[in-house]
């Protein structure tokens, strides 16, 4: 049964976890932090497709940094609801980031493998700096010890959908965040 309190996708049941209002409050907080840290600078925001596009859209507007540039990169490490363990680059970076301040925008940091691989790849192109902003961070899932510079929410190691995050390509357009229901 599909009720307002839960959504069912591919036979899996998800229950409400974070409302759009709670998300907006934390995204604005992170946006202000970034605006303060990058005052007088013109960073490049690097949005990690596909999941971060909703967060990136709200975050970059909330910073109010008018000189900022936005570009996109795509990695994949997930199939279904668990990590495949390997991290592959699918769409590369076309902009020149040499000497630039880069802010990666990611939807979620789970094991940290994608984040570490991405930072390693980007540093080869000699940017002035690389920082990492994430909507969600699962500290208990870390396999790398990586801690993002900007975090909207720290969450337990549970599978999340909505606000850009998907289940095999579905649910990205749900405005609130839902968590998988455990029996």
Q: Which residue ranges make up the site for ligand 5GP (CB under 6 A)?
A: 51, 77-78, 83, 106-115, 159-161, 165-166
d(CA 120, CA 102): 13
Nearest 5°: CA angle at 77, between 47 and 113?
80
| Least distance to ligand 5GP, CB of residue 89, Å | 12
Q: Which of 58, 101, 107, 110 is catalytic?
A: 110
φ/ψ (deg, to 5) at 51 = -60, -30
In three-state secondary structure terms, 9 is strand
Q: How far is the CB of 50 from ligand 5GP (least distance, A)?
A: 8
* Residues 6+ away with beta carbon under 8 Å from 108: 51, 134, 135, 136, 137, 138, 160, 165
Least distance CB 71 / ligand 5GP (angstroms): 17
Rg of the chain (C-alpha set): 16
Catalytic annotation present for 166? no
38 φ/ψ angles, rounded to the nearest 5 degrees: -110, 25
Minimum CB distance to ligand 5GP, residue 107 (Å)? 5
Instruction: Select 45 or 159, whichever has its Cβ closest to ligand 5GP.
Output: 159
- Between 35 and 70, name the residue whose CB sits nearer to ligand 5GP: 70
Based on CB atoms, which residue is closest to ligand 5GP, 35 or 53? Answer: 53
CA distance 43 to 101: 5
Identify which of residues 47 and 109 has a Cβ nearer to ligand 5GP in the complex: 109
List active site positions.
110
């Amino acid at each position: 049964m599909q009720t307002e309190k839960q959504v069912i996708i591919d036979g899996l049941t998800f229950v409400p976890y974070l409302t759009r209002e709670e998300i907006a409050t934390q995204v604005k907080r992170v946006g202000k932090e970034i605006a303060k840290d990058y005052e007088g600078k013109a960073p490049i925001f690097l949005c990690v497709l596909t999941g971060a596009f909703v967060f990136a859209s709200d975050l970059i507007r909330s910073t109010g940094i008018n000189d900022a540039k936005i570009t996109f990169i795509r990695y994949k490490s997930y199939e279904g609801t668990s990590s495949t363990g390997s991290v592959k680059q699918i769409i590369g970076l076309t902009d020149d980031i040499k000497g630039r301040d880069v802010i990666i925008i990611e939807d979620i940091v789970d094991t940290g493998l994608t984040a570490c691989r991405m930072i390693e790849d980007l540093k080869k192109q000699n940017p002035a700096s690389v920082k990492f902003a994430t909507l969600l961070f699962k500290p208990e899932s870390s396999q790398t010890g990586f801690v993002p510079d900007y975090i909207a929410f720290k969450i337990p190691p549970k599978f999340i959908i909505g606000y850009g995050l998907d289940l095999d390509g579905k649910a990205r357009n749900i405005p609130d965040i839902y968590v998988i229901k455990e029996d």
